[in-house]
Each structure stands twice: as C-alpha cells, then as structure tokens.
C-alpha cells in the first residue's frame, strides 16, 4: 500500500478523485467519508509514533486507510497474511472487537487482506464481506474478474464489496 509515485499515473486518474462522476449514494459516501477522510483519527498519532521512519513515508497513508476501513465496517473476523504485522495493529485499533486471524476460519469472513490473488479467499467471502488486494496494479485482471458487486480500484489497493443489494460497478479512484 504505497503511495503512487508516478506523476503520469496520477494525472491519468485525476478526473477520478473525490467522488466526481459517482452516482451511487453508497459509493459516493464511501469515497468521501472513508477514502478521502482527512481529519485525524483517535489512534493515528500513537500508532504512527511506533512506525519505523522508513515506513512513515511509504506506508502511512495506506495504514491510515486500513484503520478507517475497519472503523467504518466493523467486521467480526479479519483475515490477514502472516507477515502483516503493522496492518494488524492498525486494523485492531480500528475495530477492537474483530477477531484477527492468519488462517481461514470456518464460515464467512468479514474482511480479508491479500498480497497475492487467492481463489480460496473468494470462497470465504459472504454477502457482507470485503476483500482488499494489495499490489493491485500487478493483479488487476484477477481483481476485475471477482464475483464482487462494488469494486474500487485505488491503483495500489483494490477494495471489493460482495453485498448483493448494490448494482455491479467498478470505480477507479485517484487515491
């Protein structure tokens, strides 16, 4: 979850920022209230203080987004890769009641963070599940073929909602 450093990518996605052109009330609220929320959250300062200096520059924005997502969605179970130590801390601060696991539990998963595509993850997604795919720019084709209903392409991170009450839509967001 690194910030896009290529100015050409940013310019190409410029018209897809802050919810411009989004007509779905759910997607517009998600983009404006979660993705583009700029007010400091309660745990940013404490968590950022513990980050190594090299990570403060590269990953802080993505980690803040994870905290806001967990706070907004309040999932019961979160599945993470084994080496996602910092992500776990931020997600746990966003949703203290969530059960964070490194393996697949029986039943549905509330939120799942992947570094690489996994067809097994799709089988654990329920109607109220959210799948996050890091390094999306490498696996965009797999992400587009997910049976999700609403998907957000943030270039480095993909967010897929599986809730069937919404119309199928793929949004490109300049994050």
Predicted confidence at residue 27, as pLDDT, reads 83
Sign of CA dihedral 136, 140, 146, 148: positive
What ranges do the domains of the chain cover?
7-172
Predicted confidence at residue 106, as pLDDT, reads 84
Q: pTM of the entire structure? A: 0.84
pLDDT of 152 strictly over 60: yes
Q: What is the mean pLDDT of the chain?
A: 84
Instruction: Give dist(CA 112, CA 102) in Å, integer.
Output: 10
Tell me the average pLDDT across 4-25.
61
Identify the CATH assignment for 7-172 out of 2.60.120, 3.40.50, 1.10.12, 1.10.1200: 3.40.50
pLDDT of 159 strictly over 90: yes
């Amino acid at each position: 979850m690194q910030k896009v450093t290529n100015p050409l990518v940013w310019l190409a996605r410029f018209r897809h920022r802050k919810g411009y052109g989004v007509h779905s009330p759910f997607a517009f609220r998600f983009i404006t209230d979660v993705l583009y929320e700029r007010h400091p959250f309660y745990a940013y300062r404490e968590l950022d203080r513990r980050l190594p200096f090299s990570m403060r520059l590269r990953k802080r924005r993505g980690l803040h987004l994870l905290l806001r997502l967990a706070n907004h969605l309040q999932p019961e179970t979160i599945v993470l890769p084994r080496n996602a130590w910092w992500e776990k801390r931020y997600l746990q601060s966003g949703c203290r009641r969530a059960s964070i696991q490194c393996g697949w539990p029986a039943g549905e998963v509330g939120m799942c963070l992947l570094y690489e595509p996994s067809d097994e993850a799709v089988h654990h997604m329920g109607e109220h599940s959210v799948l996050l795919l890091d390094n999306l720019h490498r696996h965009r084709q797999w992400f587009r073929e997910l049976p999700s209903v609403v998907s957000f392409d943030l270039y480095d991170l993909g967010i897929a909602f599986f809730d069937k009450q919404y119309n199928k839509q793929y949004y490109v967001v300049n994050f």
